[in-house]
Amino acid sequence: MRTIAFVMAVHPEHITEYVHRHQPIWPELTQTLQEHGVIEYSIFLHPGTCQVFAVAKIESQEQWDAIAETDVCRRWWAHMAPLMPTNPDDSPIAVPLEPVFDLER
């Protein structure tokens, strides 16, 4: 298992809708994430910058990367694209974060 983290952005005028669309996410997307080895996945909003910070515990990078090829992921990206900066394929522009510190117990 490994932990990954990344930052995305939301257009300021769409913050409320972005939050609403995650309350909850589609059940079939939840199922796909779980089937692809996602153990935990959380998103946090920084209201001052309209950035969202995501952290996920995944079984493998390969399984995580394969999520992008699923129909439900592509539909989710298209559903969310009007709310945030995206790549040409509608995937959100996400900047991976490098781990600096981890307190393990």
| Residues with active-site annotation | 22
Give me the residue label for tokens 């199922």: 31
Give the separation between CA 70 and CA 41, rounded to whole angstroms.
18
